[in-house]
């Protein structure tokens, strides 16, 4: 194939769908041909349009189910487990956990509404609600913030939905945090929970004895410049429109709900460059996050419900992310246990930590291919 014979639309579309230029024998051509690269980007943009367009259709109500089964005279609907999809949707690896160091601050924000919530007085204006939300990080700075969250990434047919169960705490005052995450793939291998801690100075990834196989100490840490998972700072990027959700009890506490959005691009802009490069590394594209915030009479968030759309670079499918998070607060200082420094390799930033992780994973893969046991 010469550079004059450009790739046709069908080939370009197939490359996008399969995410594989090499097997189409087109990787070199695309690399050399700016016209084909441009056309590929055009089709990629159209692919995004198509997927977002379909993914954004609101789900049908129960009425449609009833109509379908009513027409058939079939049995009354029963709640059933969500169907699992094949092939297995395994795009997440240990890197994913590291990426959540960016995502988690977004997810575990709390909103302090210093307004007359539930007092029966005139409802606050949108501007006041937003201003309060944006200024709220300072209001909780002396409280330890505890959270549990359930996150689900759903994909179109052909893939398996993945769940994350996280729990942890952080202290905005000291910047210390501890977060334990469990990844659940239906019918997938059991993945043990991982815990990441920070004393406010360094973030310590889970220790792994196998790291010795690449000449490293079993624990890795990097400077905690980006803030803790429980940081409320990201709420500074919240924006309208503000939606009033009414009142309801969360864990026995009366709350008032507001719907707002958090701008991902603005949030990424607030990250330090080393962590911003992490988002570039994974190259995931996220929509703005829609948040429902349920706050108690003191203005402390008791529940956050988040939804977003996500596109991973190695997947042709668009993902639906959702997360429900329960929050509580205490005045007790957060104490975390960090590894002995003699067992820790300190690296300059999170990107360097990820590079080490990749090196380790490659080593494991090589060992696996050679059917040998790699010892530290």
Partner 1 sequence: MASKERAGGGEETSLSEDPGVADASLVAHIGPGDRESLEMLYRRHGPSLLALLTRILDDPQMAEEVVQDTFMAVWNGARFDGRSRVRTWLVAIAIRQAGSRRRRRRFPLASHTPDLASEAPGPEDAAVVRLDVDRLVREISQLTRFQREVVLLAFAEQLTHPEIAEVLGVRVGTVKSRLHGAKTALKRNWEQGETE
Q: How many residues does the chain have?
A: 376
- Interface map 16-55 toward partner 1 (x if CB under 8 A): xx------------------------xx-xxxxxxxxxxx
Judged by DSSP in three states, 40 sits in helix
Q: Which residues pair with 152 in a beta bridge?
A: 163, 322
Q: Is residue 143 close enough to count as binding partner 1 by CB under 8 A?
A: no
Q: Is residue 215 close enough to count as binding partner 1 by CB under 8 A?
A: no
Given candidates 144, 181, 287, 295, which one binds partner 1 under the rule CB under 8 A? 287
Helices (H) and strands (E) in the chain — how many of each?
9, 13
Hey, which residues between 51 and 80 contact partner 1 (CB under 8 A)?
A: 51-61, 64-65, 67-69, 71-72, 74-75, 77, 80
Hey, which residues between 173 and 202 contact partner 1 (CB under 8 A)?
A: 186-187
Hey, which residues between 84 and 103 contact partner 1 (CB under 8 A)?
A: 84, 86
CB closer to partner 1, 183 vs 357: 183
Nearest to 198 by CA among 232, 225, 234, 233: 225
Q: Is residue 308 close enough to count as binding partner 1 by CB under 8 A?
A: yes
Q: Is residue 241 close enough to count as binding partner 1 by CB under 8 A?
A: yes
Q: CB count, 10 Å around CB of 334?
A: 23
Per-residue three-class SS string for 116-137: CCCCCCCCCCHHHHHHHHHHHH
Are the C-beta atoms of 295 and 314 separated by less than 8 Å?
no
Are the C-beta atoms of 192 and 355 separated by less than 8 Å?
no
Counting residues that bind partner 1 (by CB under 8 A) gives 63
Rounded alpha-carbon distances, angstroms, from residue 167 to 146, 191, 257, 328? 8, 16, 23, 11
Given candidates 221, 228, 267, 309, which one binds partner 1 under the rule CB under 8 A? 309
Minimum CB separation of residue 231 from partner 1 in Å reads: 22
Judged by DSSP in three states, 221 sits in strand
What residues line the site for partner 1 (CB under 8 A)? 9-10, 13-14, 16-17, 42-43, 45-61, 64-65, 67-69, 71-72, 74-75, 77, 80-84, 86, 152, 156-157, 161, 163, 186-187, 241, 243, 245, 257, 259, 261, 287-290, 292, 307-309, 316
């Amino acid at each position: 194939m010469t550079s004059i014979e450009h790739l046709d639309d069908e080939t370009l579309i197939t490359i996008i769908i399969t995410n594989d230029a090499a097997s189409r024998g087109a990787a070199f051509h695309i690399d050399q041909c700016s016209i084909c690269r441009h056309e590929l980007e055009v089709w990629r943009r159209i692919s995004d349009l198509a997927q977002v367009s379909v993914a954004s259709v609101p789900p049908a109500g129960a009425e449609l189910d009833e109509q379908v089964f009513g027409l058939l005279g079939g049995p009354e609907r029963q709640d059933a487990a969500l169907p699992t999809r094949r092939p297995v949707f395994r795009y997440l690896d240990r890197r994913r956990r590291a990426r959540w160091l960016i995502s988690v601050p977004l997810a575990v924000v709390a909103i302090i509404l210093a307004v007359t919530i539930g007092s029966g007085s005139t409802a606050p204006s949108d501007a006041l609600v937003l201003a309060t939300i944006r200024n709220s990080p300072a209001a909780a700075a002396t409280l330890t913030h505890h959270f549990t969250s359930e996150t689900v990434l759903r994909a179109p047919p052909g893939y398996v939905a993945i769940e994350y169960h996280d729990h942890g705490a952080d202290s905005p005052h000291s910047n210390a945090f501890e977060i334990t995450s469990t990844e659940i793939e239906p019918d997938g291998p059991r993945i043990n929970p991982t815990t990441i801690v920070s004393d406010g100075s360094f973030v310590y990834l889970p220790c792994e004895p196998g790291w010795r196989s690449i000449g490293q100490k079993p624990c890795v840490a990097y400077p905690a410049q980006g803030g803790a998972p429980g940081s409320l700072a990201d709420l500074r990027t919240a924006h309208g429109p503000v939606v009033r959700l009414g009142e309801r009890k969360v864990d026995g506490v009366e709350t008032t709900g507001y719907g707002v959005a958090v701008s991902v691009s603005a949030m990424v802009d607030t990250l330090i460059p080393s962590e911003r490069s992490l988002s570039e590394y994974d190259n995931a594209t996220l929509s703005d996050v829609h948040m429902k915030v349920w706050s108690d009479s003191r203005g402390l968030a008791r529940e956050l419900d988040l939804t977003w759309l996500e596109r991973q670079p190695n997947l042709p499918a668009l993902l639906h992310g959702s997360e429900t998070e329960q929050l509580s607060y205490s005045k007790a200082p957060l104490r975390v246990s960090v590894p002995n420094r003699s067992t820790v390799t300190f690296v300059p930033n999170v990107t360097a930590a990820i590079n080490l992780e990749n090196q380790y994973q490659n080593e494991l893969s090589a060992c696996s291919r050679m059917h040998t046991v790699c010892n530290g």
